[in-house]
Structure 1
Amino acid sequence: MSLSSTSLERSDQVGRPRLSHRQAAIRIVVGLTLAGAVVGALWAWLAPPVQLVIALTRGGDRIRGYVGDESDLLFLGAFLMAGLLFVVAVTAAVAVWQWRPYRGPLAVGALSIGALAAAGAAVGVGAGLARWRYGVIDVAAAPISPERRVFYVHQAPAVFFGHSPLQIAASIVLPAGVAALVYAMCVLSAKRDDLGAWPPIEVAHMVAPERTTDPSPTAVVDPPADPSPPSR
């Protein structure tokens, strides 16, 4: 076996890109952040509000509760936000992979950071628009009295499954993990070590030496004669 360097096939080569890898990474992060803001606005329009009741007890205390199964809508709002961010993460990972000249560690890093920024923008914009649309519930200012003990109001949907720091962090980090996982699956399907990105990397291949079509006959070696018996 002999070692020889072969040139890359033209079908696997890409031309020099117009943008640098750093500029492409910045565009990925900015694009995902804008996509997250759009997702937040879409969520605020789609997520259903939760009907809340504020009542006055006989002891004069104000209490709040949910009508029927309205509390399930709190889970629905958070699930809708997670589902929209999941779609954005998968779509963004596939789109960044299709941007062939910029494949590599910098692209997946920008994809992860952009997914985090998209989740933060979606949550911020969605919560802000929902609060602007439905207002803030003030139990102390609710118009209830001994003559009218019950007051119904709509509460803005929830963007998180809970209010603990761990639940909030998990909701924001999840899209970045999904995007990185999808990109890693695309990397595993690549046939080239350089992923087909720019600049291309020459790879040395092992090639077998050519065989001759008419091999020369080999000489037949006579077997050694038997040794003579010892003399007596």
Structure 2
Amino acid sequence: MISLRRTRLRTALLIGCSTAAVSALIGVLWAFLAPAEHLLVVAEGRGIALTGESLHQFDAVAIFFLLALILGVLTGVAAWLARLSRGPYALGGLIVGSVLGTALMAAVGTGIAKLRFPSVDNPAVGEIIARAPGIGTLLVLIVQPLAACITTLVLVALSPYDDLGVADHADDADVEADVLSEPATQELS
């Protein structure tokens, strides 16, 4: 017979691996959504951004941020649905999976973006080239784990049970029906 602890460890491992795998797939999505920045080559090794193109650096970071935020919320809810494993094991698997997943998301996404927009060696002066998008700042790597933790915190706070609903509980409607069906009698002394 498999112990409850072993089941919780397996579920935590499954949560972590699934989160990391889905994050890598979202990195592929980001690579196709993030726009390239177009530059005009003005001298050898120097280029200037065309009008409005420098905003694409922000666009790439904002798209990464939003995808990581959405993924963090969804993985937090998905981990919560593993009812028998709710608690520190599931949260640990979720955090580890989110940290590894957001790193994979950035690595896979920037790698595919560089394949989509390869760097040009020795472009001619006056040529317009596309530069691959990047994540811009490493601070966006904290978004997915933070969103997953906050989502889990909210779900824990909203749980009506001390054990987070792991054990089987009587339906609240059945309990109310039993209380209402008993006659209210009081002794007068």
User: The TM-score by the shorter chain falls in which range?
Assistant: 0.7 to 0.9
Runs (4+) off by over 4 Å: 211-215
Q: In the alignment, is residue 83 of structure 1 matched against residue 36 of structure 2?
A: no
Letter matched to residue 30 of structure 1: C
Q: Which residue of 2 aligns with 1:115?
A: 98
Q: Which residue of 2 aligns with 1:225?
A: none
Are the equivalent residues in 2 in contact too, given 1:134–1:156 (CA < 8 A)?
yes
Q: Distance in 2 between matches of 1:134 and 1:101?
A: 46
Mark the runs of 5 or more structure 2 residues left unpaired by the alignment.
Answer: 170-184
Are the equivalent residues in 2 in contact too, given 1:75–1:158 (CA < 8 A)?
no
Question: TM-score, structure 2 length as denominator?
Answer: 0.82
Cα pair distance change 1:118/1:62, threshold 3 Å: closer
Query: How far off is 1:136 after superposition?
Result: 2.2
Aligned equivalent of 2:131, options 155, 178, 183:
155
Q: Which residue of 1 aligns with 2:160?
A: 191
CA RMSD of aligned residues (A): 2.2
Are the equivalent residues in 2 in contact too, given 1:134–1:155 (CA < 8 A)?
yes
More helix by share: 2
Q: Distance in 2 between matches of 1:32 and 1:104?
A: 17
The 3-state SS of whatever aligns with 2:53 is coil
Q: Which residue of 2 aligns with 1:7?
A: none
Q: Distance in 2 between matches of 1:199 and 1:29?
A: 26
The 3-state SS of whatever aligns with 2:135 is coil
Q: CA-to-partner distance for each residue in 1:114-133, whole Å, 9 max, x for gaps?
A: 11111111101000001111
Cα pair distance change 1:101/1:125, threshold 3 Å: same
Letter matched to residue 32 of structure 2: W
Letter matched to residue 195 of structure 1: L
Alignment of 1:1-232 (within 5 A): 20-56=7-43, 62-138=45-121, 141-142=122-123, 144=124, 149-160=125-136, 162=137, 168=138, 170-197=139-166, 213=187
Q: Distance in 1 between matches of 2:93 and 2:33?
A: 29
What percentage of residue pairs aligned between the two structures are identical? 24
Mark the runs of 5 or more structure 1 residues left unpaired by the alignment.
Answer: 1-15, 163-167, 201-210, 216-232
The 3-state SS of whatever aligns with 1:55 is strand
Structure with larger Rg = 1
Letter matched to residue 66 of structure 1: A
Q: Distance in 1 between matches of 2:188 and 2:129?
A: 96
The 3-state SS of whatever aligns with 1:64 is strand
Q: CA-to-partner distance for each residue in 1:44-81, whole Å, 9 max, x for gaps?
A: 1111111111112xxxx642110101000011011101
Cα pair distance change 1:186/1:62, threshold 3 Å: closer
